[in-house]
């Protein structure tokens, strides 16, 4: 940035030389949240420093191309090309991180030593920064990039993890409808939830940049626990008014015991003119927060009813559910949902996280808290908020371990039923419903869920590095999901949709775990 510090010949439209009693404060006030003077950058609604968003910060865009593949400068933004070949990656990352954390005055936001170690070759990118997911055509939507978030290697009893919220100003001049969202999460992401502020004053008063989780004043739009593309049913759409401000909620975990990780999230938002859809798609989290899971080593069950005996103003008496899923953390072993009868008893079971696609009558699968199934209902499921639903989750906390309650980190637990719904189905074209595995892939018979002759082994065991070979011997071809646990009962790796052939199968993989024996399940 030294070449921009001459106020006689200002490079890139950035004058970082100031005077006065506090020159640094003078400079800060002239770049923080200030519109870029470059006409091309101004037309893109970029600011010199857009707090919380380096990718709309003209200062970072000028220098960040070499470390962020989703930045493409027009010649009119940097006509002399003087910023494009700067190779000081650590210094660039320090600037990016400072902006991501809200560009605070006179405060370091991340460990510079950790960044230096990462860029020396001791780090893992969750998504290759030079090959980011393609963004929508500008005529069809836009892309939001969150991160990277850096985490040190896993050295203690708990995985390093961070959960933040950060606001994103859409700058939409008019209302718009969202007919599809597409999220790309790296291997170290635990979840990503998209909220929008329901009050302009709350949005305006929210700080820029990464900040602690606080849910007041926001409505959920969608939640993701893995990379996914949600195409909303024809006739439905999320609706965002002009000036909508989003609240982005990433939660990332480092599963590696040897390397620093950098986690990025990319969100593609596809749009259509306001008023195209007949029904607005809405989202709701239905939590049970009174968890207190003892360290007994014995499975504990929590079951509760969720219903509203008295209608709330503005809340529908019937939710027409398109999609249902669940959310827990690593101690959970099962999650089920039933319709609730008017007398408080269980009615029809409508969701089972240990069944294919969450359909209670489908093939059994291992419980995977990181990638729970989502069930699609067609036609939409009419869910009356009175009598409501009953949901149940089961957990095992290791013997002698501290009691675990509700909380946001991976050391805490959660119990949430999540639904996407409309208030009416008029004008909706129903999509295909969730089906069982055999029907989905067109095979008969369906894959078995129990195999008495299944044999599993690791080499080496205990691990002496990140490389391992898993041997699975099975008498018949099948599909399988494999979850690996360490001796503390922690799920440390899940491999989905393994295609196993009759006989011996060898699977090589990189395994980010403690150097201790691991137990296949």
**Whole domain around residue 388: which residue ranges?**
288-405+422-446
Q: Distance between CA atoms of 260 and 399, rounded to whole angstroms?
A: 31
Residues 304 and 271 both lie in one domain: no
Is 34 in contact with 41 (CB distance < 8 Å)?
no
Residue 350 confidence (pLDDT): 97
Domain presence at residue 115 = no
Is 451 in contact with 485 (CB distance < 8 Å)?
no
Give the gyration radius of the chain's Cα atoms: 25
Domain presence at residue 487 = yes
Domain presence at residue 416 = no
Which of 47, 76, 109 is at the close of a domain? 109
**Helix (H) and strand (E) counts in the chain:** 7, 28
Domain presence at residue 210 = yes
Domain presence at residue 265 = yes
**Sheet architecture: strand order including 518-520:** 491-500, 478-486, 518-520
Q: What is the 3-state composition of the chain as percent helix, strand, coil, each rounded to the nearest 5? A: 10, 40, 50
Residue 87 confidence (pLDDT): 63
Number of alpha carbons in the 13 Å side-chain half-sphere of residue 196: 16
Structure tokens at 406: 């509700």
Residues 15 and 157 both lie in one domain: no
Q: Distance between CA atoms of 102 and 124, rounded to whole angstroms?
A: 24
Residues 127 and 259 both lie in one domain: yes
Q: Longest Cα pair distance anywhere in the chain, in angstroms?
A: 80
Which of 250, 277, 304 is at the close of a domain? 277
Tell me the three state secondary structure of residue 62: helix
Q: Alpha-carbon dihedral of residues 290, 294, 299, 301, nearest 10 degrees?
A: -20
Domain presence at residue 93 = yes
Structure tokens at 403: 């009691």
Is 415 in contact with 395 (CB distance < 8 Å)?
no
Q: Distance between CA atoms of 335 and 394, rounded to whole angstroms?
A: 7
Residues 231 and 320 both lie in one domain: no
Domain presence at residue 55 = yes
Domain presence at residue 360 = yes
- Domains identified in the chain, total number: 4
Which of 86, 109, 132 is at the close of a domain? 109
Residue 64 confidence (pLDDT): 87
For residue 183, the tally of other CB atoms under 10 A from its CB is 24
Residues 154 and 264 both lie in one domain: yes
Flag residues of the chain having pLDDT under 50. 1-12, 445-452, 487-490, 511-521
Residues 6+ positions from 165 with CB-CB distance below 8 Å = 195, 210, 211, 212, 213, 214, 247, 248, 249
DSSP 23-49: HHHHHHHHHBT-B-SSHHHHHTT-BSB
The pLDDT tens digits for 372-382 are 999 999 999 99
Tell me the three state secondary structure of residue 316: coil
Beta pairing class for 141-151 and 416-422: unpaired
Residues 6+ positions from 281 with CB-CB distance below 8 Å = 232, 236, 237, 238, 322, 420, 421, 422
For residue 408, the tally of other CB atoms under 10 A from its CB is 16
Residues 102 and 31 both lie in one domain: yes
pTM of the model as a whole: 0.76
Q: Distance between CA atoms of 110 and 90, rounded to whole angstroms?
A: 12
Residues 260 and 400 both lie in one domain: no
Residues 153 and 203 both lie in one domain: yes
Task: For residue 242, give the CATH number of its domain.
Answer: 2.60.120.230
Residues 6+ positions from 81 with CB-CB distance below 8 Å = 75
Q: From residue 148, give the alpha-carbon distance in Å to each of 112, 183, 374, 455, 471.
A: 14, 15, 28, 40, 35
Q: Identify which of 43, 52, 55, 47 has the alpha carbon closest to the alpha carbon of residue 14.
A: 47
Residue 378 confidence (pLDDT): 95
Residues 58 and 40 both lie in one domain: yes
Beta pairing class for 123-125 and 260-273: parallel
Q: Distance between CA atoms of 212 and 217, rounded to whole angstroms?
A: 15
- Burial grade of 517 (CB within 10 A; 0-12, 13-18, 19 or more): exposed
Q: Distance between CA atoms of 482 and 363, rounded to whole angstroms?
A: 15
Is the C-alpha dihedral spanning 358, 363, 364, 365 positive or negative?
Answer: negative
Residues 88 and 152 both lie in one domain: no
Residues 139 and 98 both lie in one domain: no
Residues 103 and 155 both lie in one domain: no
């Amino acid at each position: 940035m030294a070449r921009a510090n001459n106020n006689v010949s200002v490079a890139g439209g950035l004058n970082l030389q100031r005077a006065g009693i506090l020159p640094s404060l003078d400079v800060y006030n002239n770049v923080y949240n200030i519109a870029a003077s470059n006409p091309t950058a101004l037309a893109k609604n970029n600011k010199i420093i857009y707090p919380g968003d380096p990718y709309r910060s003209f200062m970072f865009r000028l220098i960040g191309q070499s470390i962020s593949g989703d930045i493409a400068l027009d010649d009119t933004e940097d006509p002399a090309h003087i910023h494009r070949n700067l190779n000081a990656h650590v210094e660039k990352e320090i600037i990016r991180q400072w902006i991501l954390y809200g560009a605070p005055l006179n405060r370091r936001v991340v460990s510079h030593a950790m960044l230096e170690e990462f860029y020396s070759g001791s780090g893992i990118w969750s998504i290759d920064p030079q090959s980011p997911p393609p963004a929508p055509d500008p005529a069809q939507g836009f892309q939001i990039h969150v991160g990277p978030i850096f985490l040190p290697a896993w050295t203690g009893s708990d995985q390093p993890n961070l959960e933040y919220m950060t606001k994103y100003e859409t700058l939409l001049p008019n209302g718009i409808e969202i007919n599809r969202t597409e999220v790309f999460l790296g291997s170290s992401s635990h979840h990503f939830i998209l909220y929008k502020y329901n009050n302009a004053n709350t949005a305006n008063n929210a700080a820029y940049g990464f900040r602690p989780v606080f849910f007041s004043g926001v409505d959920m739009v969608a939640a993701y626990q893995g990379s996914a593309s949600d195409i909303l049913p024809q006739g439905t759409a999320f609706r965002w008014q002009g000036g909508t401000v989003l609240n982005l909620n990433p939660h990332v975990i480092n599963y590696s015991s040897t390397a620093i990780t950098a986690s990025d999230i990319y969100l593609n938002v596809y749009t259509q003119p306001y008023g195209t859809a007949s029904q607005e798609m809405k989202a709701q989290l239905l939590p049970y927060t009174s968890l207190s899971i003892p360290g007994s080593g014995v499975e504990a069950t929590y079951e509760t009813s969720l219903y509203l005996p008295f209608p709330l103003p503005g809340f529908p008496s019937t939710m027409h559910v398109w999609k249902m899923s669940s959310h827990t953390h690593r101690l959970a072993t099962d999650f089920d949902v039933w319709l609730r009868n008017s007398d408080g008893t269980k009615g029809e079971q409508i969701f089972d996280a240990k069944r294919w696609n969450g359909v209670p009558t489908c093939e059994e699968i291992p419980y995977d808290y990181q990638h729970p199934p989502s069930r699609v209902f067609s036609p939409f499921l009419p869910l009356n908020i009175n009598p409501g639903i009953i949901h149940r989750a089961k957990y095992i906390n290791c013997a002698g371990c501290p009691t675990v309650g509700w909380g946001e980190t991976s050391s805490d637990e959660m119990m949430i039923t999540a639904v996407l719904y409309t208030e009416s189905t008029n004008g909706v074209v129903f999509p295909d419903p969730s089906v069982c595995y055999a029907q989905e892939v067109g095979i008969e018979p369906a894959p078995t869920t129990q195999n008495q002759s299944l044999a599993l082994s690791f080499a080496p065991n205990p691990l002496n590095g990140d490389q391992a070979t898993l041997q699975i011997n099975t008498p018949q071809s099948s599909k399988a999901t494999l979850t690996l646990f360490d001796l503390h009962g922690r799920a440390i790796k899940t491999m989905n949709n393994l295609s196993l052939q009759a006989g011996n199968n060898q699977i090589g993989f990189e395994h980010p775990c403690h150097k201790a024996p691991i137990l296949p399940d």
